[in-house]
Amino acid sequence: MTVQSLQPNVSYLAQGTEGGGAALNEVIGLSVASVVVGAALLWIGYQHRMRKITWLHDLGEWAGRKFNRPSWVALPIALFITTIITALFGFIWDVSLHIGKGRDPGPLANPAHYFILFGLFILFVAGCLACVLPYDKPGPSAVRITRHWYAPVGGILMAGCGLYALIGFPLDDVWHRIFGQDVTLWGPTHLMLIGGAGFSTLTALFLEHEGRRAVGEDKPKDGPGIKFIQYLAFGGIVIGLSVYQIEFDFGVMQFRQVFEPMLIAAAGAFALVSARIMLGRGAAIVAAILALALRGLVALIVGPVLGAPINWFALYLGAAVVVELIGLTPLVKKPLLFGLVGGIGVATVGLWLESFWIDAVYRYPWPTSIWPEALAMAVPVAALVGVCGAMVGMVLTNQKLPSRAIGIGIVALSVIAIGGATANGLRYDVPQNATASFTLTPAPSIGDQKMATADIRINPPDLISADPNWVSILGWQGGLANQRGIFVDHLEKVGPGHYRSTAPMPVSGQWKTLLRVHDGRMLTAVPIYLHGDPGIGAAEVPAEAQMTRPFVSEITILQRERNPDTPQVLWLIGCLTVLVGTLIMIGGLTWGAGRLNKNEPTTSKAEFEPSGQA
Partner 1 sequence: MTHSAQVVILADHSALLAIPAFAPAILVVAVVIWVARRDRRLADEEDEEDATHSGPSAAADHDGTP
Interacting residues with partner 1 (CB under 8 A): 2-3, 6-7, 9-11, 13-14, 20-21, 23-24, 27, 30-31, 33-35, 37-39, 41-42, 45, 51, 104, 106-108, 113, 117-118, 120-121, 124, 128, 131, 135-136, 145-149, 159, 162-163, 166-167, 169-170, 172-174, 176-177, 609-611
Per DSSP, the three-state class of 531 is coil
> Which residue's CB is nearer to partner 1, number 42 or number 325?
42
Residue 471 C-beta: closest distance to partner 1, Å: 36
Give dist(CA 360, CA 541) in Å, integer. 34
**Nearest residue (CB) to partner 1, 91 versus 313:** 91
Q: How far is the CB of 6 from partner 1 (least distance, A)?
A: 5
Buried b (16+ CB within 10 A) or exposed e, 360-381: eebbbbbbebbbebbbebbbbb
Q: In the bound complex, what is the minimum distance in angstroms from residue 489's beta carbon to partner 1?
A: 34
Strand, helix or coil at 384? Answer: helix
Cβ closest to partner 1, residue 112 vs residue 322:
112
Q: DSSP E strands: which ranges in 410-536?
A: 435-446, 449-459, 470-476, 486-490, 492-495, 498-500, 505-506, 512-519, 522-530
Taking phi first (over 0 means left), then psi (-120 to 50 degrees means alpha), and beta for anything else, what does residue 447 get? left
| CA-closest candidate to residue 158, choices 231, 230, 210 | 210
CA–CA gap between residue 69 and residue 75 (Å, rounded): 9
Q: How far is the CB of 11 from partner 1 (least distance, A)?
A: 8
Q: Which residue's CB is nearer to partner 1, number 192 or number 321?
A: 192
* Residue nearer to partner 1 on the CB measure, 127 or 475: 127
Q: How far is the CB of 32 from partner 1 (least distance, A)?
A: 9
Residue closer to partner 1, measured from CB, 218 or 609: 609
CB closer to partner 1 out of 176 and 276: 176
At its nearest, how many Å lie between partner 1 and the CB of residue 589? 18
Q: How far is CA 415 from CA 410, 564, 586, in A?
A: 9, 30, 9
Q: In the chain, how many H helices and how many E strands? A: 18, 12
Rounded-to-integer distance, Cα 289 and Cα 276, Å = 14
Of the candidates 231, 80, 249, 252, the residue with the CA atom closest to the CA atom of residue 154: 80
Residue 71 near residue 56 (C-beta atoms within 8 A): no
Least Å distance between CB 61 and partner 1?
A: 15
Cα separation, 203 vs 21, in Å, equals 40
**Least CB distance from residue 125 to partner 1, whole Å?**
8
Query: Looking at beta carbons only, is 117 or 376 nearer to partner 1?
Result: 117
CB of 517 closer than 8 Å to CB of 401: no
Under a CB-based contact definition with an 8 Å cutoff, are residues 316 and 342 in contact? no
Q: Cβ closer to partner 1: 51 or 221?
A: 51
Smallest distance, Å, CB 56 to partner 1?
A: 15
